Amino acid sequence: MIQRIFALLLIAAVLCSAHANPSSDLRPPYFAKDSVQAEQHATLTQVDFDGYYENLIQAEKDAVRNATTIGIASGVVTGFGVFATVIAFRDKDQTKENSYAETHRQLLQVGGIAFTAIGTIGLIRSIYTIVTSTGENSKRASYEHAYEIYKRRRSELKDGTDGAKVILTPTVDLLGATAGLNLNILF
């Protein structure tokens, strides 16, 4: 029985070694938006979250740049497909009997329709990626907002020497006809 328990512990240690390895690139995904937890984790593990947020923001910018490039290429393919389709389906009376379009009419029809379909799908996909990756609701905007919160909290923690803030505010209770001071201590 002890040998089985030892074998199970050994297997668990081998399977979980990636989490214990400090050089592994397995970062917890729940730190992506919550800068308070990120700050607490950074103080405990000394992790550079500036680079982490900058990498996330740069990855989103690269995705938009890639979608723009794919959109341009898809637009060119769609344009070529429409041009080939128009040439292939135009009236036979206007073309010469020995022209290239007349001899390869079926190839131009199939190729033009295929290029138009493929280009349109690529164009729609890239436009969707650009629309969802930019603006207020994009991941990049949320990463930038979380990074700004993180930088502000980090600067607040660096400014305070003791790590605590004392806030004294006046309070007035109109229903109870009392007045006084409220003392808040923030750590």
Whether 24 contacts 18, CB under 8 Å = yes
Whether 131 contacts 63, CB under 8 Å = no
> Could you tell me the maximum CA-CA distance found in the chain, to the nearest angstrom?
102
pLDDT in tens, 7-65: 666 676 666 554 444 444 444 444 445 566 666 665 655 556 788 888 888 888 888 88
Letter for the amino acid at 184? N
Q: Quick one: pLDDT at residue 40?
A: 63
Q: Quick one: pLDDT at residue 146?
A: 85
Counting Cβ atoms within 10 Å, is residue 109 exposed (0-12), middle (13-18) or buried (19+)? middle
Q: Quick one: pLDDT at residue 130?
A: 83
Which residues are bridge partners to 4 per DSSP? Answer: none
| Token output for 172 | 């007035």
Distance from C-alpha of 117 to C-alpha of 96, rounded to nearest angstrom: 29
Q: Mean of the per-residue pLDDT values for the chain?
A: 75
Distance from C-alpha of 64 to C-alpha of 133, rounded to nearest angstrom: 7
pTM of the model as a whole: 0.50
Whether 84 contacts 106, CB under 8 Å = no
Q: Quick one: pLDDT at residue 8?
A: 63
pLDDT in tens, 78-93: 999 999 888 888 766 6
Top-confidence range, 53-62, 93-102, 137-146: 53-62
pLDDT in tens, 106-134: 888 889 999 999 999 999 999 888 888 77
Q: Quick one: pLDDT at residue 56?
A: 84
